């Protein structure tokens, strides 16, 4: 899975990251490195990971050599990419490049672990909107590189009626009826059998079982009996996702894939050529 580097949000994120880090110039590099010096930078994995975001190097350097693409499983010690050019440019953009690669590969690596944990169950893992402000598109691309299915990108592209909507709209039925003219599939968050009954009666296409135990979720899924798709969310971790998957839902979503991913260890050694 390659990153869409033509996406305006991706290009903006890279431009903003460079502006944030460099501003009026890299004073250390300008003071210590000769103007005409040429160099080579080698990006190397220091731990096993699922790679994501390597395509962004084409927005940071001229003609980088990408040894792998996003979604590739990488072993510690493997070379990911090589960049060549002005030593000043390589040094100045090194941290921005690594920040993207380490963060996005961390998301992809955690996503891949979730997918592996439910292998064989037929359950699809979803990401959420719990992303770093300004980096949603990149982090969702990284999650997809790890094998999860992107849930809604934002508030504009899918209907998800949650508890606060239900409370303020005056109930499940009122919220569903008001959303129906949008012509989009309707998902409703439910926490009790009564709410499940009502959402099904209103014609919700997907039910979100929120903050239930695996045993409780399994019981409700048997009751739903394929009358709607079922998503499980709330309190899902790597340690318990398999138990939730065995309850029989169609989907499981976890915000931790993006909000709690740990950056992986990637090194960039820069050498004179």
Catalytic positions, written as ranges = 95, 130, 162, 189, 210
Structure tokens at 24: 């009026």
Structure tokens at 176: 């569903």
Collapse the DSSP code of 140 into the 3-class scheme (helix H, G, I; strand E, B; otherwise coil) and give the result: helix
CA angle 213, 144, 129 (to 5 degrees): 60
C-alpha to C-alpha distances, 221 to 122, 209, 218, nearest whole angstrom: 15, 9, 5
CA dist 67 and 46 (Å) reads 15
CA dist 19 and 29 (Å) reads 16
- Helix (H) or strand (E) holding 146, with range, is none
Contacts of 155 (CB under 8 A, 6+ apart): 129
CA dist 248 and 231 (Å) reads 10
- Helix (H) or strand (E) holding 173, with range, is helix 172-179
Q: Which value, to the nearest 10 degrees, does the dihedral of the CA atoms of residues 25, 29, 33, 39 take?
A: -100
- Spacing of C-alpha 74 from chain mean position: 18
């Amino acid at each position: 899975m390659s990153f869409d580097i033509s996406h305006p949000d991706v290009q903006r994120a890279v431009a903003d990251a460079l502006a944030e880090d460099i501003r009026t110039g890299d004073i250390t590099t300008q003071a210590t490195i000769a103007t005409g010096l040429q160099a080579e930078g080698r990006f190397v994995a220091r731990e096993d990971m699922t790679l994501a975001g390597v395509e962004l190097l084409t927005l940071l350097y001229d003609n980088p050599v990408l040894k792998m693409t996003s979604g590739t499983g990488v072993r510690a010690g493997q070379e990911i990419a090589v960049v060549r050019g002005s030593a000043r440019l390589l040094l100045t953009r090194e941290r921005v490049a690594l920040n993207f690669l380490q963060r996005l590969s961390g998301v992809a690596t955690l996503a891949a672990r979730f997918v592996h944990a439910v292998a064989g169950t037929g359950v699809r893992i979803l990401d959420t909107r719990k992303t770093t402000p300004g980096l949603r598109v990149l982090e969702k691309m990284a999650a997809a590189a790890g094998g999860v299915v992107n849930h809604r990108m934002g508030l504009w592209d899918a209907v998800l009626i949650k508890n606060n909507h239900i409370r303020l709209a005056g109930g499940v039925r009122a919220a569903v009826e008001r959303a129906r003219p949008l012509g989009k599939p309707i998902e409703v968050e439910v926490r009790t059998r009564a709410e499940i009954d009502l959402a099904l009666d209103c014609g919700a296409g997907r039910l979100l079982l929120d903050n239930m135990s695996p045993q409780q979720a399994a019981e409700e899924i048997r009751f739903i009996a394929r009358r709607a798709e079922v998503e499980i969310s709330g309190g899902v971790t790597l340690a318990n996702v398999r138990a939730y998957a065995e309850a029989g839902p169609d989907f499981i979503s976890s915000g931790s894939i993006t909000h709690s991913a740990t950056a992986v260890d990637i090194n960039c050694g820069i050498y004179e050529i």
